[in-house]
Structure 1
Amino acid sequence: MAKKSSKHKPDPDIEASDETPPPNEVKKKRKAESEQQVDASTGEPLKKKKKRKRDAMEEAEKDTGDATAEAPPKKKKHKNKTGLADPREDTALSNQASKGLEYAFLQFHRPYKWKFNKARQNWIIRNVWSAENVPEMYLPLVTKYLTNVQGGSRTKLIETCQSILDRPQKSEAEKAEDTEKKSSLKVPVPEPSPVEVATIGDQRARAQTLLDALASPTVVQ
C-alpha cells in the first residue's frame, strides 16, 4: 500500500518575503509620497496648494451666498384704488401727521391690515380743524374716516361742529364800530392776522363738511 505524500510546508522565509503588505501600510506609504511631492514652479507642497485652492473656492461660495441672502426682497407696490390722497410719500407732513393720516388711509387701502388705534383716532379728531396738520387734500380722507366713529367720540364731534357754526359772525357795521373803538384807544390793539381770519373761515367750512358727513348713514367697512 502506497504511502500518502506529506503536505508541502512552505518555507517561512520565502512566504514572509512575498507577502503583500497590509492596506493601511499602503495608504501610509502613498500619503508620505504625496506629501513629499512639490510644485516645480513654486516649490510648495502640492497637498497644501490644493487645500489652499479648495479653501479659497469655499470662501468665494460663502461670500456669494451671503450677498444673495442680504439682498432685500422687493416690495410689491399696491395701486391706490381708494380715490383718496395717499399720505405715505408726502415729505411735507410732520411725523405725527404722517402717522395719523397713514392710519386713516390704511383703513380704506388695506382694510385687512388695519387695526383700531385709539391714540391715532384721537389725534385725527383733535387736528381735523388744523389746515397745517391736515392739509385740504387729505380732508376727504379724514372726513370719511370720522364718519365711521361711534359712541361718545361721534357725539362730541357733532357738538364741536355745531359750536363752531354757532359762533356769532359780526356784521360789517359791527366790524366798523370795533375798528373805530380801537383807533380811539391810547394803546393800539393789533388787528387779527390774515392767517387767523383764514383759520376761522377754514374751521367753519370744515365743520359744515364734517357735520353733513356725520348726518349721513354710517359707512360700514
Structure 2
Amino acid sequence: MHMFFTFIYPLFKCLLFQETDEEDLTPEERRKLERKLKKERKKEEKKLMREAGIPTKKEEPKKLSGSELALAYLTSWSKNPEEWKFQKTRQTWLLLHMYDKEKVPDEYFTILLDYLQGLQGKARDTTVQKAEALMKELDGSDAEDPSMVEKSERIRQVLQLLS
C-alpha cells in the first residue's frame, strides 16, 4: 500500500498542480489544495484497506461507566490501600448512590460502610444530614415497597455508623 502512494500520490499532485499554475495560487488556496489532496489520499487509503479486508475503523477502548469506576475505586481502597488514591468524584458518586442496591450491590455496600468510617469533615456532616432527611421522608411514607425497606435499612446502617 505504501508503494502505491509513493508512485501515485506525486503523479496525482503533479496533475492537480498542472491544472492550476502553482505560482498563481495564494497561500490560502495552496492550503486548501493541500487539504483536498490529503483528504483524497486518506479516501484512497481507506478504499485499498477495505479491498484488502483490513478494518478501517479504529477500535476505541470501552469506556467504563461511573458506576464501574466508583466500584473499582472502592475495591482498590479495600484491597490495595498502598496503591489507592483519593478521588473526590468517585467518593461523591458513591455517597450519592449508596442507598441504591442496583448501583451499589450488597457485597460493595459492606466495603462502603468500612470506607465511610474514615469519612471526615463536611462530607461526613452532609452524609449524616442527608441520611437523616431521607429517614424522615421514608418514615413519613407508609409504603411497604421492598426496595424502600432495603433503602431504609441501608440508611439506618449509615446513620448508626456515622452518628
* 1:111 maps to 2:81: yes
Aligned residues: 99
* 1:157 maps to 2:105: no
Match of 2:92 in 1: 122
CA shift in 2, pair 1:112/1:159, >3 Å: same
Match of 2:136 in 1: 166
- Check whether the contact 1:164–1:203 (CA below 8 A) recurs between aligned residues: no
Give distance in 2, aligned partners of 1:115 and 1:138: 18
- Check whether the contact 2:78–2:111 (CA below 8 A) recurs between aligned residues: no
- Check whether the contact 1:101–1:142 (CA below 8 A) recurs between aligned residues: no
1:113-151 deviation per Cα after TM superposition (whole angstroms, max 9, x unaligned): 011101000000011011111012221011111221111
Match of 1:144 in 2: 114
Return the letter of the residue paired with 1:152: K
* 1:1-221 mapped onto 2 (5 Å cutoff): 95-167=65-137, 168-169=139-140, 197-215=145-163
Give distance in 1, aligned partners of 2:126 and 2:140: 23
Return the letter of the residue paired with 1:130: D
3-state SS of 2:102 partner? coil
C-alpha deviation, 1:163, in angstroms: 1.4
Give distance in 2, aligned partners of 1:112 and 1:170: 44
Match of 1:5 in 2: none
3-state SS of 1:166 partner? helix
Give distance in 2, aligned partners of 1:137 and 1:116: 21
Q: Percent identity at matched positions?
A: 22
TM-score after normalising by structure 2: 0.55
Unaligned runs of at least 5 residues, structure 2: 1-63
Give distance in 1, aligned partners of 2:95 and 2:149: 18
1:164-202 deviation per Cα after TM superposition (whole angstroms, max 9, x unaligned): 22233456xxxxxxxxxxxxxxxxxxxx8x8xx222212
- Bigger-Rg structure (1/2): 1
Unaligned runs of at least 5 residues, structure 1: 1-93, 172-191, 216-221
- Check whether the contact 1:106–1:114 (CA below 8 A) recurs between aligned residues: yes
C-alpha deviation, 1:212, in angstroms: 1.2
- Check whether the contact 1:104–1:142 (CA below 8 A) recurs between aligned residues: yes
Give distance in 1, aligned partners of 2:147 and 2:122: 26
Q: By percentage of residues, which structure has more helix?
A: 2
TM-score after normalising by structure 1: 0.41
Following TM superposition, the consecutive aligned residue runs of length 4 or more in structure 1 with deviations greater than 2 angstroms are 167-171
